Chain A
Amino acid sequence: MTELSKTGAAVGEPTDSSPKPSSFLEVRDLKVHFPTDDGLVKSVDGLSFQLEKGKTLGIVGESGSGKSVTSLGIMGLHTAGQYGKRKAQISGEIWLNGTELLSADPDHVRKLRGRDMAMIFQDPLSALHPYYTIGAQIVEAYRIHHDVDKKTARKRAVEMLDRVGIPQPDKRVDSYPHEFSGGMRQRAMIAMSLVNNPELLIADEPTTALDVTVQAQILDLIRDLQKEFGSAVIIITHDLGVVAELADDILVMYGGRCVERGPAEKVFYEPRHPYTWGLLGSMPRLDRDQQERLIPVKGSPPSLINVPSGCAFNPRCPYADVPKDNLTRTVRPELTEVGTKHWAACHMSQEQRERIWTEEIAPKL
């Protein structure tokens, strides 16, 4: 908490002097900007969070809110600079298990990547190499980090495929990605990312491309594997159902920033940001009686080149005029604590938000 207020105050300042964090993963004031011909795209603009081992953080937001860029940033997949001059500009700190990743030697990060932290991508068909068998790809991932012969690695691959529930793993290990169905490919991806028992697993929209029945299987699998391996998991999705299913903590992103963060129960039952209200209101729900109408958020997500001044959400916020002095349009709100381990970035006073939520929003959901 003190950590947070510190980072909140230190926006834009160098934070090299800050002490080693106690959390397993701590991201401090992460910024990922992309220079383009049209201007600087501020995909992630000052994001901070912590994550402990064995816990799951859900990051939700619309397309273009910076969710995936955050995950690629943590994995160190933006810094490579192979795009010539068009290299992403990254600042902030990412502490994984006591090591700062952004300032670390790229070779060191490469050793961590795949071993200590691994990623499950959204579309397994484009994330798997079509030219190599599933087995060959898993074996490669294993042998890069472990000095073992091919036979042992292959045994490990079969074992992992079995663990993620692929039938006849000793035969399917020699199949090519196109011979697998969508759900099986995603399972193979999960097997590949877990082959080195990573301590941090980032799942970027792991079930978006899948049918609901397969989605249920995969979510179940991720949950079981997390229990088994005790890894920290970041799950990135736009589906609030998936988040509610898996996450202990939820981080809501909008326009490259965190607008609300807190324990899952708090974010669902006592949300304190109008955008979170909007997300909850736009979602038809199977567990409730039929709603008459959905309550959508008006307008569209902001351009990340010209993020609206003040609160990025102000052009879409129905309560933008509640705070005085045009505050929402001029001053960017910082995250403030609204409850135990629960933060939100909004100019409205806490009483105002509490009243609006309990009187106007919650009864309609």
Chain B
Amino acid sequence: MSENAEDKEVKAAGAATLSKDAAPGETLLKVTGLQKHFPIKKGLFQRQVGAVRAVDGLDFEVRSGETLGVVGESGCGKSTMGRLITRLLEPTAGQIEFEGKDITHLGVGGMRPMRRDVQMIFQDPYSSLNPRHTIGTIVGAPFRLQGVEPEGGIKKEVQRLLSVVGLNPEHYNRYPHEFSGGQRQRIGIARALALKPKLVVADEPVSALDVSIQAQVVNLMDDLQEELGLTYVIIAHDLSVVRHVSDRIAVMYLGKIVELADRESLYKAPMHPYTKALMSAVPIPDPRRKNAKSERILLKGDVPSPISPPSGCRFHTRCWKATEICRTTEPALLELKPGQRVACHHPENFEDQAPQDTVLLTAAKEAAELVADEVLAESAETSAAVAAELAEEDTSEESTSEESTSEEATSEASTSETSAPEAAASDESTEETGSQESTDK
């Protein structure tokens, strides 16, 4: 009887979740100043001699019902971030709030009830399923661990889940080795969905799969999001996959978010030079553009070590726009355009944030040699155009405010007016308005 009561409670909670999800846009997960440093120990006494700064200060939020894509090169800390927000790792500093509750330092027991709401899909479908367990046991494990007795019994529910993800329910008693890679990934998805989670963190969910299978899994995740009102954080290195699945995208470089923006703005007008380089590096499946090499931005060398990341802006060692300020001052992640946060002193497609500083670093000069002149000219042009536009708005704003404050322009214009000139004026105030704006949404 008591089990039944619990069951009802769970169902009630489930219903509450659904109604909550009906109002998307609410902040589901909020991360502030998140850090994870892995200590490097040496010698007889295992003294700490340094740390791998895998994640070094992240601020972002995930809204209910959306998909946040996280991209970056290997070693940028994106997987560590995924494991931190699911609390599989203990953060070094910072705060993680899930539905307004601080889960930063919850222990294993404290996290257990939260595990119903936060689930993870892993990259490698070969190592994330226990080879000695049947599919039934694997997908049914969340119910047993959480002490949940689904309606009609665990077996029936597991079989339902298997059919939801496109597997044959009769395969209940089979072992993982009897399935192909794509099918195994479906099993992983079924397990993640078993407890009707609110947030699913998927770490490279399709990168181990063949192209044709990749599309099947991407479509499946899409459908499930629509049906179940899921919120996804999808971590991947493939920019085309990320664009396909995400509503908003965070670009990471060496443990930091360098740009966080809506999908459209990010892909149409990337503002961080790293984002731009990253996107230009993706090979385009179009043989007619084969020799359009001029569009490509080649980066010099490799990503620096996260043990001793470069000072100032971490990208300055490979950036073709880097100046003295990039070496000395770390740029803050500011909302320069509505819905587009960037950490850069010299953003692309936007007004320069440090116009007085124009002398390029030697590294930048070397890097610029790899960048075609057309790209440089084009970026200078667009930046100048935006700067001119902003200056114009600036003066028009002054004139209107002199005449009458009630004659404020439309909401769209006003947001760009408030955010842009202030960004040039003072960093801190924009950060405030920026975060305010984003939470308002």
Contacts and interface: CB of A to CB of B under 8 A. Distances in A.
Query: Do chains A and B stick together as partners?
Result: yes
Interface of A: 62-63, 167, 181-184, 211-217, 219-220, 238-247, 264-265, 268, 278-287, 290-291, 293-298, 300-301
A284 B244 contact: yes
B211 interface: yes
Nearest to A63: B210
**Interface class of chain B by DSSP:** helix
A181 B74 CA distance: 11
Given A213-B281, A243-B285, A244-B290, 18 more contacts: A184-B302, A211-B237, A219-B283, A220-B296, A220-B298, A241-B285, A242-B283, A246-B290, A268-B285, A268-B286, A284-B243, A286-B243, A286-B267, A296-B213, A297-B216, A300-B182, A301-B180, A301-B210
B216 A241 contact: no
A282 B212 contact: yes
Given A212-B278, A238-B210, A290-B244, A296 B283 contact: no
B244 A183 contact: no
A320 to B, nearest CB: 16
B281 A212 contact: yes
B14 to A, nearest CB: 28
A300 B213 contact: yes
Contact of B218 (A240, A294, A301): A294
A220 B293 CA distance: 9
B299 interface: yes
Contacts of A213: 73, 277-278, 281, 298-299
A213 B285 CA distance: 16
B239 A294 contact: no
A286 B279 contact: yes
B288 A286 contact: no
> Chain A CB within 10 Å — which of B267, B281, B287, B288 has the most?
B287
B427 interface: no
B108 interface: no
Contacts of B47: none
B241 interface: yes
B180 A300 contact: yes
B79 to A, nearest CB: 14
B285 A167 contact: no
Contacts of B277: 213
Interface of B: 73-74, 180, 182-183, 210-216, 218-219, 222, 237, 239-241, 243-244, 263, 267, 277-290, 293, 296, 298-299, 301-303
B74 A211 contact: yes
> Chain B CB within 10 Å — which of A183, A268, A300 has the most?
A300
B239 A238 contact: no
Contact of B302 (A62, A183, A264, A265): A183
Nearest to A303: B180
The 3 A-B residue pairs with the shortest CB-CB distance, nearest first, are A241-B283, A282-B215, A296-B215
A212 B282 contact: yes
Given A242-B283, A279-B211, A301-B210, A212 B237 contact: yes
Given A284-B241, A291-B244, A265 B288 contact: yes
A264 B210 contact: no
B286 A244 contact: yes
> Chain A CB within 10 Å — which of B218, B267, B286 has the most?
B286
Nearest to B245: A284
Contact of A293 (B214, B222, B282, B303): B222
A244 B285 contact: yes
> Chain B CB within 10 Å — which of A183, A238, A245, A287 has the most?
A245
A274 to B, nearest CB: 12
> Chain A CB within 10 Å — which of B214, B244, B285, B290 has the most?
B285
B73 A282 contact: no
A317 to B, nearest CB: 12
A265 B291 CA distance: 13
B302 A294 contact: no
> Chain B CB within 10 Å — which of A212, A238, A285 has the most?
A212
A285 B267 CA distance: 12
B284 A298 contact: no
Nearest to A219: B283
Contacts of A290: 243-244, 263
A281 B218 CA distance: 13
A100 to B, nearest CB: 32
Contacts of A211: 73-74, 237, 303
Nearest to A281: B215
B216 A296 contact: yes
Nearest to B293: A220
Nearest to B76: A211
Contacts of A62: 210-213
Contacts of B241: 284
B214 A282 contact: yes
B252 to A, nearest CB: 12
B45 to A, nearest CB: 26
17 contacts: A62-B211, A184-B302, A212-B237, A215-B281, A216-B281, A216-B296, A240-B211, A243-B285, A244-B284, A244-B285, A285-B284, A286-B282, A286-B284, A287-B289, A290-B244, A296-B212, A301-B180
A339 B91 CA distance: 60
Contacts of A181: 302
Given A62-B211, A282-B212, A300-B182, A265 B287 contact: yes
Nearest to A300: B180
Contacts of A285: 240, 284-285
Nearest to B240: A284
A240 B36 CA distance: 37
Nearest to A220: B298
Nearest to B241: A284
Contacts of B243: 284, 286, 290
Contacts of B289: 244, 287
A219 B280 CA distance: 13
Contacts of A216: 280-281, 283, 296, 298-299
Contacts of B282: 212, 241, 286
Nearest to B296: A216
A183 to B, nearest CB: 6
A167 B211 contact: no
Contacts of A217: 298-299
Nearest to A61: B210
Contacts of A284: 215, 218, 240-241, 243-244
Nearest to A215: B281
